[in-house]
Structure 1
Amino acid sequence: MCENVNRVINTIPHKAATIAVNFSKERFVKKNWVDKSEIPWKKTRKRKGSTLIKSGRLKKSIRKVHVGADYAVIGTDVPYAQPHNDGGTIEGVELVRTHKRRAHKRKAHIRSGKRIKAGNISAHVVKSHKRKYKRTFTQRRFIGRSQKLTDQIVTMVNLEIKKVVAN
């Protein structure tokens, strides 16, 4: 019986980490944060797609980072995860590569019954340069401590211990 108890105690942190990862990924589906009560995410002005999901990289990157004997850490390595989760502003400098820009986008059309020809659409070269940026993010929590998550883990631990004691 002692061997079974030790085996279960060793597997509990891994199962708790799995529950925490699934809880965090579920936030992207339900678009809310659940602690003692449900806090919905603020809507975005996006017309297509889902809030915080463009490519799915952020959601897919949530994983077990480290599992010890009595603890489990989950996290992500995506650089923009923390500003989304905590809210805030990112400042930096980005490099813009050399590219061509069209002078205008006028097309042939009809105005007052007369046909207007398309203008000569030319392009000019924009040299590479650095551009400063400052982006502000609304807080949309998807990872962290939560009372509901704690309750799920406690329920799992109690069930695992009851299974071992019952056998």
Structure 2
Amino acid sequence: MEPDYKELSRICANVERAISIIPQKAAVIAVNFSKERFVKKNWLDTTETTWKKTKKRKGSTLIKSGRLKRSIRKVHVGADYAIIGTDVPYARIHNDGGTIEGTEQVRSHQRRAHKRKAYPRSNKRIKAGIVRAHTVKSYKRKFKRTFIQRKFIGQSQYLTDQLTNMIQIEIQKAVHK
């Protein structure tokens, strides 16, 4: 009995086609996984790590304008790999956590007239009164900002398991087509 070369050739072509589309599908799964972190407000690896809530701002954590979440995309897809990333400059500090120190230039600006409440300052009592409108001169100030790690992109065992499952399903579909 001779082997069926046409059938074998068809299976090989299907597997080759499946292998060529796997990196694209993997990139889509990885991008969706990273964007889902903004909705669920957690990081999934071998365990789930919930993001700490923001104290100062109302609304969703890490979403003010939505620029960071929207910027996550496929950076490059090759024959056997897919890279996802973002071009937002503050993405790394939010993802990894840490402290930023530096100086910033404050431009001159106008202050409006307003009423001031009484308050204590270094054992003195400052009286309530009216503060006149005035111009604040340009100046430099130092800053030090600390960011809590809120991971949304990177290596994850959960994502690896999802990708492995997708690859197995695609290969099985190609063989049994």
TM superposition score normalised by structure 2: 0.82
1:132 aligns with 2:142: yes
Q: Residues 47 and 94 (structure 1 numbering): CA distance in 2 closer, same or farther, change over 3 Å?
A: closer
1:4 aligns with 2:20: no
Match of 2:47 in 1: 37
Q: What is the one-letter code of the residue matched to 1:86? A: D
CA positional deviation for 1:122: 2.5
Kept after mapping to 1: 8 A contact 2:115/2:130? no
Match of 1:116 in 2: none
Q: What is the one-letter code of the residue matched to 2:144? A: K
CA positional deviation for 1:134: 1.3
Which of 51, 67, 81 is equivalent to 1:71? 81
Match of 1:154 in 2: 164
Q: Percent identity?
A: 73
Kept after mapping to 1: 8 A contact 2:27/2:82? yes
Q: Residues 165 and 126 (structure 1 numbering): CA distance in 2 closer, same or farther, change over 3 Å?
A: same
- DSSP-derived class of the 1:105 partner: strand
Once residues 18 and 115 of structure 2 are traced to their aligned partners in structure 1, the CA distance between those partners, rounded to angstroms, is 67
CA RMSD of aligned residues (A): 1.9
Q: Which runs of 5+ in 1 are unaligned?
A: 108-118
Tell me whether 40-49 or 150-159 shows the greater mean CA deviation: 40-49
Kept after mapping to 1: 8 A contact 2:108/2:135? yes
- DSSP-derived class of the 1:162 partner: helix
Q: Which runs of 5+ in 2 are unaligned?
A: 1-9, 118-128
Q: What is the one-letter code of the residue matched to 1:55? A: S
TM superposition score normalised by structure 1: 0.86
Once residues 106 and 130 of structure 1 are traced to their aligned partners in structure 2, the CA distance between those partners, rounded to angstroms, is 26
Once residues 71 and 8 of structure 1 are traced to their aligned partners in structure 2, the CA distance between those partners, rounded to angstroms, is 14
Once residues 93 and 55 of structure 1 are traced to their aligned partners in structure 2, the CA distance between those partners, rounded to angstroms, is 25
